[in-house]
Chains A and B, each alone.
Chain A
Amino acid sequence: EVQLVESGGGLVQPGRSMKLSCAASGFTFSNYGMAWVRQAPTKGLEWVATISYDGSSTYYRDSVKGRFTISRDNAKSTLYLQMNSLRSEDTATYYCTRGGPDYWGQGVMVTVSS
């Protein structure tokens, strides 16, 4: 069974950093591109970043370029999202997704507030 389990969320002050992790199981992690998607409270879904299966290519939405870094450790079957210089508008539930995307994690809440 495919499982994606996010962790690392919580409350953080504006301008600070936070790192999210997504532990994958039930499939060969190194075969799939992965992405982070977020959903602000009462808002729609928004793509954040994508990484290729081997980590050689990464892509970001404009509003997070230069602040967020997506990465992966295929030996650990884990996806990461390093978020720096956080802003109030980054407040959202962050989902780890596989491929198309076909599978999604349950999400982790990130609240940026003083």
Chain B
Amino acid sequence: DIQMTQSPSFLSASVGDRVTINCKASQNINKYLNWYQQKLGEAPKRLIYNTNNLQTGIPSRFSGSGSGTDYTLTISSLQPEDFATYFCLQHNSFLTFGSGTKLEIK
């Protein structure tokens, strides 16, 4: 089974900051890596699919990169509505989720 290691678990940042969240797979996942945002009490929302494709309707301040086993979500300039939990998902072989990153206001 593919394992996903996500870091950091918690991130404290300010509006306007640039932040990055990382996911490392236990084996090559061929860029089959998605990023999601989840707010309390809401369904997860897909932000990025297949490493670097922006979901329709998602602001361009969100971007993704990576290959092989290492992947990154970048938010270029944090907005108030971005404070939430983010997680990655590999779908190269079944589905495995990262443990999540809680992004909090500093």
Contact = CB atoms under 8 A, between A and B. Distances in A.
A104 interface: yes
A47 B97 contact: yes
Contacts of A100: 34, 46, 49, 91
Interface residues of B, number: 18
A45 B87 contact: yes
Nearest to B97: A45
B40 interface: no
A100 B88 CA distance: 12
B38 to A, nearest CB: 9
B95 A50 contact: yes
B21 to A, nearest CB: 14
Interface of B: 34, 42-46, 49, 55, 87, 89, 91, 94-100
Interface of A: 35, 37, 44-47, 50, 59, 61, 95, 100-107
